[in-house]
Structure 1
């Protein structure tokens, strides 16, 4: 399953839980969801901006998005933490990417990602942003 699909499943589950009132986000969860959404929007911009950047910058932005998610995860528990954990897990392949050639020597298991993989990861981040906006709205 690709990153976009994993995130879509997470988003659908969150929306269903909120709709069915299984999950009623507390004000603190709404605030953290909003803060996280804004951090992700700052890290990964719109497609027309991201796609013009060099791969090394795109990778940096995706790593920043993962850092935003990880910091938010450390600040919460319960369903929001579970959602954030799932989002981090979906983006996990980004952690193995590198944008520089290896020249000589080992790469610690990292791989060069394709442009399509960068686009997929960025689209997944944008879907997470949208889900967090809905969570923030309660």
Structure 2
């Protein structure tokens, strides 16, 4: 969604209020160690999509706990924001950190046979030939 200054400000305010509610107002132990990573509020402020992250093995547990607490959270959020309309909450598990970790591990395990030999200028050496000179002809 394209954001302008006003929508960024609305998202930031909503994120701060929701984070405070999750931290101080909701006492469900299943929601401990849950991090609010982002919030997107629709232009008419009727829908708020909240992204939360947690340990990979707790995705289902956290999703169910958020679903159970959604009504209470929405009520508290309505009072905290003071908007004309209290947005409908949609909680989504943010797996970005887990995906980044998975990719980093995969890159660490790349076999050395995939390495590329380079000449003194940093260009790849192809079958014993060095990189291209200025006229596009290979040096030998």
Short-chain TM bin: under 0.3
Q: Whose strand fraction is larger, Structure 1's or Structure 2's? A: 2
Q: Structure 1-normalised TM-score?
A: 0.26
Higher relative contact order (CA 8 A, sep 6+): 1
Bigger Cα Rg:
2
Q: Structure 2-normalised TM-score?
A: 0.26
